[in-house]
Structure 1
Amino acid sequence: MIDYNHCPHQWTQSVPFIPAWVQEMPKTPCCPQTPRPVTPNPIFPTNAALPTCTPLELKKTGPRTVLITVSIPAESIITLPSKALEIKTIRKNLKLTQCRFFNSPPPLRCIPQDTPKLFLGGYVRKNVQYSEPIRQTATTVESSLKDFVIDVPYSCVIDLGRIRAIAPTLFSEQQEYEFSSTAPLPSGFSTKDKLISGDLTELNVVSHQFMNSLPSCELIFSQINEMDDALDRVPMTGGPFEEGVFRTVQEKMVILIQLELTFPAEINPQPAPHPPNDHHHSNTGNCHNPFFSMTLKVLRAFIKIKI
């Protein structure tokens, strides 16, 4: 239990009831420590427009589960801590740190309908083992084995436009209501008249709060297809003519991820019968256009006159 009497800027309103076990606890004379400032996640950029990935496969595996397969290209440049003669091996492990589902807003008249999205992100842990040359002759090179670990981030937004009939998002709302009040009028009004209006001194509110459940995400399978090229390789001084050293490596990866989403309610994904930009999937097709209606009436009247 902390003694707040010695702490500045504390709320001093007394509580109506303090349990006995709380009163028996010894008081801590020091103030609570100030929390450390939050450091941004180094895996994700502070501000960026994320690329949208079209899933390779979107398959319903159960009443509430969907299997998603997506391919994510990634590229990075790695600088080794010392000069390398050659890379012996690279061990890779995929880490998934974000799998966040965004449901599309409810359809509204004359507003284009968006599609559900899945924010995906993480990093590939790479353990690079390479040989560092120690001494060399015209025909030999002696090296020591080095080990270097680095995290390569990746991020992508998956378009789940082919998933249909997802449980809609429930929105919290707050509604106000008033009671009619009657008050006498000042001089100058008839004595039979009264002021009837809402009471401005009252505030009556009904609040509704809904708790939506996010789907759970499980990583099923991952595959990393990688190509690494040295960018600054130079011939080794005093060594065999075909040998060289480098420190900067450019890597290109194609990351294949398969994961399963489990929704709290039953879903029904179906292939889209028309392209997303087709007028069948737009709520703007039935919008009333006054200019178009007026033009149509003028044309009809002109046709009748000509006939």
Structure 2
Amino acid sequence: MKKDKNCVNLNESASVEQCTSVPAATPVAPAGERLIKVPVDLGAFTVTSHLVANISFPDPVLEIKDIKKRVIITQCRLMTRTSTGDDDQFAAGPFPLFLKGYVRKNIQYASPCPHSTEGCISSTIKSLTLKVPFECMTTVTLDSPAQLPVSNTRSEFDFFRAQDLGPGYPEKDQFLSSDISQFHQTSTQAYNELPFCELISSEIIEWDEATDRQSFGEGPVDEGYFHHMVEKMTINFTVKVLQNQQVRVDAQ
């Protein structure tokens, strides 16, 4: 006997002529006005975060030549509450804004060649690329209210059923309840617009200090090298929070 691999037995007798449609309950614009769906600027916010990182180099470092860096945002999520009804569809907060990302750094440095001495140091130019992660949450109040998400609903209902109790019970007695072998439910799903972000600008202030510098000579002014350094960074970046909303505009 051939085993049916499909877990659902589909009834394909329905035809497309059985579908019906009615106009959805959307706002109607008066004459001279139209409704358009566009990204609405909810507000721009400058966020400050502080980072400390210990950096290890695979080769000895004579000196740092250059550091190129940029802020990368991997998560920017505005968490709003849900709507409680038709008279509570928009709100400006305050709402938590969750942020996550990293600072990408490319460090170019001179590495002394073997057998270098204090009087004659040959070096090669190398680079090290690394990511310094950060994660934070800030509370914001929006300049323009966000459209709140509508909750999904799910409700069950039953039908009364009278059943004979069977042997051992009087014939006139019955089992009066709903049938647990049946399940009935009404559910709704709301497909809400999720607020999103754009990165507008960023600023990085950093201090980098070697922690294990060794000199080629015996004095503090002698040339030397190191393998480890600690960096302290203050990052300021501006993000704009937006949401696609229906906006009424003049059609003229």
TM-score calculated relative to the size of structure 2: 0.68
5+ residue gaps in structure 2? 11-38, 85-92, 247-252
1:131 to 101, 106, 110: 110
Query: CA 1:239–1:64 in 2, change beyond 3 Å: closer, same or farther?
Result: closer
Gaps of 5+ in 1: 18-61, 108-113, 267-307
| Structure showing greater relative contact order (alpha-carbon pairs closer than 8 Å, 6 or more residues apart) | 2
Alpha-carbon distance between aligned partners in 1 of 2:145 and 2:179, rounded to the nearest angstrom: 45
Tell me if structure 2 keeps the 8 A contact 1:180–1:197.
yes
Mapped to 2, the partners of 1:246 and 1:263 lie a distance apart of 49
Residues 1:263 and 2:243 aligned together: yes
Deviations 1:105-140 (A, max 9, x none): 668xxxxxx952222111111111111122544434
* Map of 1:88 onto structure 2: 65
When residues 194 and 246 of structure 1 are mapped into structure 2, their CA distance, relative to the original with a 3 A threshold, is closer
Aligned AA for 2:6? Answer: Q
Q: Which residue of 2 aligns with 1:100?
A: 77
**1: CA distance, partners of 2:174 / 2:4:** 46
Contact 2:217 2:223 in 1 (8 A): no
Alpha-carbon distance in structure 1 between the residues aligned to 2:133 and 2:178: 59
Kindly indicate whether the alpha-carbon contact (under 8 Å) linking 2:102 and 2:131 is maintained by their aligned counterparts in 1: yes
> Residues of 2 paired with 1:128 and 1:154: CA distance?
19
Aligned residue number for residue 5 of structure 2: 12
| Structure richer in strand, relative to its length | 2
Counterparts in 2 of 1:231 and 1:105: CA distance versus 1, 3 Å: farther
C-alpha offsets along residues 38-76 of structure 1, whole Å, 9 cap, x if unaligned?
xxxxxxxxxxxxxxxxxxxxxxxx954311110111110
User: Does 2:197 align with 1:214?
Assistant: no
CA contact (8 A) 1:137 1:238 kept: no
Name the SS of the counterpart of 2:56 in structure 1. strand
Q: Distance in 1 between matches of 2:220 and 2:50?
A: 37
The structure carrying a bigger helix percent of its residues is 1
TM-superposed CA distance for 1:145, in Å, is: 1.4
Q: For the structure 1 residues 238 and 140, does the alpha-carbon distance in structure 2 shift closer, same or farther, using more than 3 Å as the test?
A: farther
The corresponding residue for 1:50 is none
CA distance in structure 1 between the aligned counterparts of 2:51 and 2:223, rounded to whole angstroms: 30
Partner of 1:48: none
Alignment partner of 1:118 is 2:97:
yes
Distance in 2 between the 1:130 and 1:197 partners? 80
1:150 to 116, 130, 145: 130
CA distance in 2, matches of 1:181, 1:157: 54
Amino acid at match of 1:218: E
Maintained 8 Å contact 2:62/2:225: yes
Aligned length in residues: 206
Asked whether the equivalents of residues 66 and 262 of structure 1 are also in contact (C-alpha less than 8 Å), the reply is: yes
1:154/1:11 CA distance change after superposition, 3 Å: farther
The answer to whether the 8 A contact 1:136-1:239 is kept is no
Does the C-alpha gap of structure 1 residues 182 and 236 become closer, same or farther in structure 2, counting only changes over 3 Å?
A: same
